Amino acid sequence: MAEPILEARRLVKHYPLMRGVLFKKQVGAVKAVDGVDFTLDRGETLGIVGESGCGKSTVARMLVNLERPTSGAILYKGEDVTRLSGRALRAVRRNIQMVFQDPYTSLNPRMTVGDIIGEPFDIHPEVAPKGDRRRRVQELLDVVGLNPEYVNRYPHQFSGGQRQRIGIARGLALRPEIIVADEPVSALDVSVQAQVINLMERLQNEFDLSYVFIAHDLSIVRHISDRVGVMYLGRIVETGRDAEIYDHPTHPYTQALLSAVPVPDPEAREHRERIILHGDVPSPTNIPSGCRFRTRCWKARERCALEVPALAVPEAFRRATGPAAHPSACHFAEEKHVVPSEQPE
């Protein structure tokens, strides 16, 4: 198998909680990301889903080096980027770009669209020589489906969907190999969401991009991803190919999450089992012992409080070869169908 283009190993990000004014001392830590492993192959889309506070955005920020991990490694083509600095780091950064969630706050309102998309060239002048920049920016606008004549307009002259296209054009400017997209469509209207998703898929084929696609919307993640990781309280609890996760989930959290998604089909509401979880996600400053999901799990037993379940193919499925045999961090993993399958007409 080819070497993955990006790999996260035991990635951890703890934010210290300090108390005291003069003599600060650490009284605890917000364990935002607490040991995340994954690989991303070339040309592939890895979806990461989870609820707010699960650490998915922190993972994204670490991947593009906006945030330094507390421990663990991020390997880009086998090289640990967390140890790089200066010129070497800059070279890697060129290849891993980010698209942000909010198209309103991630574009500088005082810069023209041309300046926003062209700014990466100031930092990486080797990509586009000075005289060539305007043409390159116009090309990028065209690629994301905006009128190339708009280079001198300001962000407020565009709608939400158009702004997100500008954000994507900026991400593409340096011809990166990897794009990390953190909730790229959740601020958009339904009809515009589909346009942006289609654009991202087209660009992936055109430029041979690899995506890390982070979202809380399970339907969108399924649509765009080849593989999916489900995060809960700073860890990936289940991971596999999209059909393995959606049609054969074995972790109770994934099952609950999937069963809670409203399906746009009123016929499905009668014959659909819904698992309603009780309570809220525990605070990341005070993570439960053993399995971190046990406080909300209907299957929790004594063993769950004592032993941390590893993210591996569960014992029950180790001999199996079917789609249920994929890594799931649960002591009592079992298959359960929660997504109503399409009824044949």
Site residues (vs other proteins, CB under 8 A):
51-52, 159, 161-162, 189-195, 197-198, 201, 216, 218-220, 222-224, 242-243, 246, 256-258, 260-269, 274, 276-277, 280-281, 339-342
Measure the CA–CA gap between 27 and 199, rounded to whole angstroms.
46
Measure the CA–CA gap between 114 and 311, rounded to whole angstroms.
45
Residue 5 C-beta: closest distance to other proteins, Å:
23
Residue 44 C-beta: closest distance to other proteins, Å:
15
Residue 89 C-beta: closest distance to other proteins, Å:
35
Measure the CA–CA gap between 303 and 54, rounded to whole angstroms.
23
Which residue number, 69 or 167, has a Cβ lying nearer to other proteins?
167
Tokens matching residue 277:
């979880």
Which residue number, 270 or 302, has a Cβ lying nearer to other proteins?
270
Residue 75 C-beta: closest distance to other proteins, Å:
29
Residue 239 C-beta: closest distance to other proteins, Å:
17
Which residue number, 59 or 220, has a Cβ lying nearer to other proteins?
220
Which residue number, 223 or 299, has a Cβ lying nearer to other proteins?
223
Measure the CA–CA gap between 345 and 343, rounded to whole angstroms.
6
Phi and psi of 335, rounded to 5°? Answer: -75, 145
Which residue number, 157 or 289, has a Cβ lying nearer to other proteins?
157
Which residue number, 117 or 258, has a Cβ lying nearer to other proteins?
258
Which residue number, 126 or 270, has a Cβ lying nearer to other proteins?
270
Residue 159 C-beta: closest distance to other proteins, Å:
5
Residue 260 C-beta: closest distance to other proteins, Å:
4
Which residue has tokens 């084929």?
205
Tokens matching residue 327:
């890594």
Which residue number, 38 or 158, has a Cβ lying nearer to other proteins?
158
How many residues appear in the chain?
A: 345
Residue 229 C-beta: closest distance to other proteins, Å:
16
> Is residue 252 within 8 Å of residue 297, measured between CB atoms?
yes
Report strand pairing: 227-232 vs 210-215. Answer: unpaired
